[in-house]
Chain A
């Protein structure tokens, strides 16, 4: 069980209502609650809790507040910005003394950058709300204190945040003792529930709550709650004691661990406290007088308990905060401790120790025993730093303390193992299964999994511990006795053996023969093997799996090898348990599937070979690859490269930008080579239509045409064909695939309209094995890059054929292979990239667009390209509107200054031209660009404030293209109000909604874009309300250009809509069908699904152009023909629609019929609109002509 499940299990059983909204890392709590509710699982009082997803955390808090006031027991699960959105309601809930528990997987707040990882920034930002703050340090504690919090809130009437560390605890698998329903009932008797209900709003005994108060009474009223807060700590301790009496696990508000007469003491909360107290144990055993104070209740701050816990002998105290408050004297826990000690001293109760304050562990930064030891060492210094950091190198502020690298406190009986794999190879799943097997076998087990930030080809590292005693080690494994490397290629990219202990066993999945393995190892790895005396075992797991009839399924094979080599269980017992797990997992897929898996287990051991280590290095010429080429810019080499190589933790403060500003275009340096199969162009079959390049989600298919003479010096095999275009009879054409960046998604193959007549099934672009061609293609790509990018003025990019020659300024993102969103994003960058400003809502597009280490937004040879930023999730439309407001203001300023400087600058009429030139078509924009360049030259050296002012804004004289980009979770739900307001503003912004119909980034939760009848997280029983028609809503304003597009159905319509939207001088909304892995589809068929969506009438292509209305035409253009297939023909290939038919066939039939009806009816509405006269549409009232 992980921390999320541990907390949710108690929360669900002790509540009647869960108001939820997805946010990492708390989402699994909400998902579990929703799942249990849909399974009709009851709470401890026999009723099934209602789980309702809201449009935002703000909405969840509002619904929760209402539920509580109406007398229900209600809870929520959240983190980070989600908690911040709840703050207004939290002040209310607390002010009204309303019992509730918010369960928070504590996470960093977005500041200079967003982080999904764990620290206490969020809960500390809520410390003024009046909520109690109760911190759990582990999976078991998250389970136990969830109960304590619920018991205490009902008794004290003080609402609680119960939190635990995001990812470190929320996602750590550990062995726990579960609480029974009886345990829960014992601590939360029904009388408490009845008391809560008795305080609720009721027309049967009416009263008013939520008044507005005046200066005469507000202050006193605020003070009325003091007795409740004074009593709360005692009530929490009573609940802890009651729990201890029942289950034997005792907790304190503040607990002390260590030498009874310690002179140096740490104070901290959360999972770090586990590390601190285990380290202290070891140090005390070593004769040191040290101790650790763990604070569980942070609000109301239990000063008395703290003073009682902290030994009077303590002379040096370091208070550690897992948060950062820039500009504050220190972080909150420090201030609380100092305040408590200061008052105790003033009261003559005790002497004042020296107290220092440190920050640690921000954004899940590791906090290890070595760091704890380092802090104690710092405390022993003559003059310890009063403020410090630990775990980083702060070479700017000098705050960081030194930490030794080796300080191993783990019990000898604990087996430590790390496994390196790819997300797609099942390594994590197999390890989770291993933990289950070992847990069932009576061992204690811990698992923690580290993922990189890519959605395709991502690397995973699994950290596992097993042993005969409870595992309390909330930090990554080092000194592993077992290292599994499930992808041989990773040896050349990351430090696989860095975490290996001397004498460790390395299991390699390797295609080479056992006697060839050694020579295949990179030099650095060979050195590590020799230095650490590592034993190597190799298996060609792919071959074993293939021969067992399970191609690609290497996880079972490697899991078997792990058990065989590690000896954590007797071999036969282990194999029997693996086979039991196989039976459990695969039985419903047929006995033969079970048999094949069992065969893979049996043949694994026979295929496992020890590798003879010759005792000398043989790979002198062959070492680990540099993460980026030596030719990369310095920042990319030193900073980006370190992050890519997994050495980002070593980067000092000085290496990093002070304000979160990073260079564009770094993804191009990261040649990931993630797919074994890549696209290859067949020039003889190709008709040069541009379809493949248009749909490529990763911008790896590029086209250029050029003079034949340019082919001089081309490497062997460089593909070239006569250009198929009028007016350029001799020109050559090349379509180059950047194979090192290709993800093998095959959308290009699907989009290719031609067949090779000689070879059935072959097209003009096909997938082929990467390995045999990668070296040659690398050279060809390099040569291709020497060909000039085609001049925009020489291509007709009103057509898909022409658009392929536009340079993408969004390339090689880490989006899912075959992503349905990125082709639109790429097209934006091709069409408007030089003038583009992107406001990007948080979500998939902000992650593949802006998650370090590398970013795909890039610039062209002139140094121009998209300016991109992400503010938050909820505010993106407003954020983008701000771009427009500034652009308009600065255009105005520039025009004013330019007019004022007319005499100096006009010359041959340049100023008049700049001021009057139209800027709609690309030609006009190019001409204006040239004029502004000329203007800048004339400005150069021109003295005076007006000239200086003009220089600062002169670039605005080329019209900027402001795009507000985000997914449906933003546009339909959390940002809906802002989007609506921005569309109603009449200002010239363009909105691109990448509509995947779920919250894709957080794992597929329902949004208001989710279609009727589809299953999604939070809609496990099928969405029972139709998708919101955002297009019709926007059309109602009359001043908004609206388009619904699906490039898989009509590439040309997509292209046209984006260009019209950009050219339209007002708000534009383009809603783009984006197939998604969360639809449960074969991603290779994503475009086919788009086609079916349109053909069935589910996704009618349309454009609404207010300009057409002004010109007397019908502004509503229906771009797709009448439905030609049934809705079922579209939905049948998607799991999201099919799965309900398995779980609830009757409901599936009902919803499918309703969905078909909804499609039919909407089509009728659209058809009617397409045939109306223009006078029946709302005019664009912004213009006087309307």
Chain B
């Protein structure tokens, strides 16, 4: 079955995209993702903050003990402190570009305005087919308003759009006060794709060691609901491609996202959990489902269950909500 599709105007052999993860840290890893069948790969994120921390670390550790002892005025070769911190990332794109045929999407998490544009330019120059902006930050300052946050994000996106010519996607947080409005504004600004949603790694307190531990939990099918809801809502209402991200475990999950209206579906957790070859399982599951439903192409599937296809979407949304509450009451009665 032909699963070919487009995402932000880029042709993909199928709608399964490996999202940013440790699986794409090496050329070999990317090649194996291609072999496993994915339609495109979003590379692991380039974090400007990490580069700066690394530069600081290199500076501190690379100069520790220097100019103190006559026999060893330095301890590291000269180049160590002079190298470009983004070189590794750029090189990965360059080499992966040579090694695979599927589109590669760079992922960028900036901090400073110059950082966003400088690294976006570098990612484009290295040969990425598109850039995904990972506008991940936790506005922990209680004085910052939602409007401030949105304005800052829009500013970043505009700067990058002005800088590069390749398509630009934004990986969204679900926590905007009005996600739909924000999505619309982003799309109006010229963003080519919206990825729903970014996963926020939240710290956990370890009661044993009395320390704060960073924990990474892989997503589960339960995590599909929020992105699926918003994909269904946004389908056909914003002029940007939609990518669903979160909780894809089976071919059926893939189908659900497509039914909701996703152009592509991203997967990380399942590939980490089951290995890269699970991509093949997801895709064949999708094909089997389509065959069982006698759906001939993705166009028949995509958006079939989106809100725009609903004659009275408001009614459905309220009904769904009320119905869910009713079901919950019954489920938990007697507990």
Contacts and interface: CB of A to CB of B under 8 A. Distances in A.
Interface of A: 24-25, 27-28, 31, 34-35, 38-39, 116, 167, 171, 422-424, 426-429, 432, 449, 451, 453-455, 458, 460, 588-593, 755, 757, 760-761, 816, 847, 1000-1004, 1015-1017, 1020, 1077-1078, 1080-1083, 1135-1136, 1138-1139, 1141-1143, 1145-1146, 1148-1149, 1153
Interface string B69-80: 111111111111
B54, B59, B63, B68 interface centre (most CB from chain A within 10 Å): B68
B71 A24 contact: yes
Q: Which 6 A-B pairs have the closest CB atoms?
A: A423-B68, A1003-B72, A1142-B83, A760-B210, A1145-B91, A428-B67
A1136 B77 CA distance: 9
B304 interface: no
A847 B69 CA distance: 11
B62 interface: yes
Given A760-B211, A1002-B72, A1004-B76, A1143 B83 contact: yes
Contacts of B26: 1149
Contact of A1145 (B58, B74, B92): B92
B67 A429 contact: yes
A1142 B61 contact: no
B72 A1000 contact: yes
Interface in B42-67: 52, 54-59, 61-67
A887 B231 CA distance: 85
B67 A449 contact: yes
B156 to A, nearest CB: 16
Contact of A1003 (B75, B79, B211): B75
A432, A589, A592 interface centre (most CB from chain B within 10 Å): A589
B95 A424 contact: no
Given A449-B67, A589-B55, A1078-B76, A1142 B210 contact: no
Given A589-B55, A1020-B79, A1146-B95, A1141 B67 contact: no
Contacts of A1146: 27, 91, 95
B96 to A, nearest CB: 11
Contacts of B54: 1138
Nearest to A1002: B71
A1080 B62 contact: yes
A451 B69 contact: yes
10 contacts: A429-B63, A589-B52, A592-B112, A1017-B76, A1020-B77, A1020-B79, A1077-B75, A1142-B85, A1143-B87, A1149-B26
Given A1082-B61, A1139-B76, A588 B67 contact: no
B69 A458 contact: yes
A1150 to B, nearest CB: 10
B141 interface: no
B322 to A, nearest CB: 46
B217 interface: no
A589 B27 CA distance: 27
B61 A1081 contact: yes
B145 interface: no
Given A429-B67, A454-B69, A588-B85, 9 more contacts: A116-B70, A460-B67, A761-B210, A816-B65, A1003-B72, A1020-B77, A1020-B78, A1077-B65, A1080-B62
B114 interface: yes
B202 interface: no
A429 B211 CA distance: 38
A429 B67 CA distance: 7
Contact of B80 (A167, A171, A593, A1015): A1015
A649 to B, nearest CB: 17
A902 to B, nearest CB: 54
B56 A451 contact: no
Contacts of A449: 67
A1015 B62 contact: no
Interface of B: 26-28, 52, 54-59, 61-80, 83-85, 87-88, 91-92, 95, 112, 114-115, 209-211
A1145 B87 contact: yes
Contacts of B69: 423, 451, 453-455, 458
Contacts of A847: 71
Contacts of A588: 55, 84-85
A1139 B58 contact: yes
A1001 B61 contact: no
A1015 B87 contact: no
B70 A1078 contact: no
Nearest to B60: A1082
B64 A755 contact: no
Nearest to A450: B70
B88 A1142 contact: yes
B58, B72, B74 interface centre (most CB from chain A within 10 Å): B72
B137 to A, nearest CB: 16
Given A1135-B62, A1145-B87, A35 B56 contact: no
Contacts of A1002: 71-72
Contacts of A1136: 76
A1003 B73 contact: yes
Nearest to A28: B73
A755 B210 contact: yes
B61 A1015 contact: no
B74 A1003 contact: yes
Contacts of A427: 67
A1003 B71 contact: yes
B58 A1141 contact: no
Contacts of A1003: 71-75
A766 to B, nearest CB: 14
A1080 B61 contact: yes
A1135 B68 contact: no
Given A591-B112, A1017-B77, A1149-B27, A455 B84 contact: no
Contacts of B76: 1004, 1015, 1017, 1078, 1080, 1135-1136, 1139
A1051 B78 CA distance: 36
B210 A1080 contact: no
A116 to B, nearest CB: 6
Contact of A1015 (B27, B65, B77, B115): B77
Contact of B75 (A116, A424, A593, A1078): A1078
Nearest to B68: A423
Nearest to B49: A590
Nearest to A1149: B26
B79 A1143 contact: yes
A514 to B, nearest CB: 30
Contacts of A761: 210-211
A1080 B62 CA distance: 6
A451 B67 CA distance: 8
B58, B69, B84 interface centre (most CB from chain A within 10 Å): B69
A1082 B92 CA distance: 28
B65 A1016 contact: no
A167 B27 CA distance: 47
Contacts of B59: 589
Contacts of A25: 70-71
B64 A1077 contact: yes
Nearest to B63: A429
Contacts of B74: 1003-1004
B64 A1083 contact: yes
A460 B66 CA distance: 12
Contacts of A1017: 76-77
B80 A1080 contact: yes
A1003 B64 CA distance: 12
Given A458-B69, A1001-B71, A1020-B77, A590 B52 contact: yes
A589 B62 CA distance: 14
Given A1001-B71, A1145-B88, A591 B114 contact: yes
A1066 B134 CA distance: 63
Contact of B77 (A35, A1077, A1083): A35
B125 to A, nearest CB: 16
Contacts of A591: 112, 114
A172 to B, nearest CB: 13
Contacts of A455: 65, 68-69
